[in-house]
Amino acid sequence: MNDTPATAQVIIRPPLGWGLAVLAGLALQWLEPLPFLLLGLPAGWPDLWLGVVVFLLALALAVWAIATMTRAGSNVPTNRPTTTIVESGPYRFTRNPIYLGMFGGQIGLALAFDSLWLLLMLVPFALVIRYGVVAREEAYLERKFGDVYRSYRSRVRRWL
């Protein structure tokens, strides 16, 4: 009998964690506004537009990563088994492009809403993703794919 779990058994679905972090940041901003200043930007460059650009770039990265994984025939949701190690597209540069997209998206929202709260909520979200999701995924992938995953892990950074 095989007692190895069929999934990584992460502690939270990443999109749910991201949504909670964003909602918490927006709620705190509404209750007690905490803006931050961007120093060094050219005069007349609004935080809103910089935030939109950062958000859209982060969204593009996440969409590219999801499309790449789907084309490779693997499952994206963390509650479904991984079927293959994907090494193309953004996975050539980082093992976690979807999570990087989430982090970047939250930074973009923080800039657009001029909210230090949104930026601060990135810290607990990043810790949950790193230790409650990525660590479990890495252990799962090593158990499931062995040397194939270890070889990929040795060539591609976890983040950037």
Domain ranges for the chain, please list them.
Answer: 48-74+83-160
At 1, the pLDDT band (50, 70, 90 cuts) reads very low
Residue 33 predicted with pLDDT over 70 = yes
The DSSP result for the chain, as a single string, is ---S-SS---SS-HHHHHHHHHHHHHHHHHHS------TTPPTT--HHHHHHHHHHHHHHHHHHHHHHHHHTT---STTS---S---SGGGGT-S-HHHHHHHHHHHHHHHHTT-HHHHHTHHHHHHIIIIIIIHHHHHHHHHHHTHHHHHHHHHS-S--
What was the pLDDT predicted at 36? 73
pTM of the model: 0.91
pLDDT digits (tens, 9 = 90+) for 52-94: 999 999 999 999 999 999 999 999 999 999 999 999 999 999 9
